Amino acid sequence: MRRPWASEPSPARGRLWLGLVAVLALALLTWALNQGGGFSGGGRAGQGDPVTLPSVALTDLPPEAASTVDLIRAGGPFPYDRDGIVFENREGLLPDERSGYYHEYTVPTPGASDRGARRIIVGSGGELYWTGDHYRSFERIPP
């Protein structure tokens, strides 16, 4: 007597199950990487704490950072078209604020053929943050 529920799956059905397992594994991996750690420093939105965020004096940063801050305070002109765009804080490493609160500015990297990884992030309240590794970590620049 044949029992259909005990039979081997057809090849098409087997591929369907394999695809489903692959999608679930990818979803699980994505979730796990976003729980902290991950490839971009991890964290969840709003975990940035200005009190515990490391700080660095502007004078301790590359000289191009001070030049960029001077341009920001003067209102430009900026050397890159994308300077001044909204920084969304997707990494969640800065204090949680509404969209549009933060703006980013390029800190030129000598010898780089593109914008490089260095940025100054400015909050609407005037606070300044430095990232030298393209948003993987931040340091607060005290006033």
Of 33, 123, 124, the closest CA to residue 138 belongs to: 123
Q: Where are the domains of the chain?
A: 4-33, 58-141
Query: Is the full-model pTM beyond 0.85?
Result: no
Q: What is the pLDDT of residue 39?
A: 39
Buried b (16+ CB within 10 A) or exposed e, 64-98: bbeebbebbeeeeeeeeeebbeebebebbbbbeee
Q: What is the pLDDT of residue 2?
A: 62
Active-site positions read 104, 134
CATH of domain 58-141: 3.10.450.30
Q: How far is CA 77 from the centre of its chain?
A: 26
Q: Is the pLDDT of residue 44 over 60?
A: no
Count CB atoms within 10 A of the CB of residue 102. Answer: 20
Of 75, 143, 68, the closest CA to residue 106 belongs to: 68
Of 106, 87, 84, the closest CA to residue 48 belongs to: 87
Q: Is the pLDDT of residue 141 over 60?
A: yes
End-to-end CA distance of the chain: 83
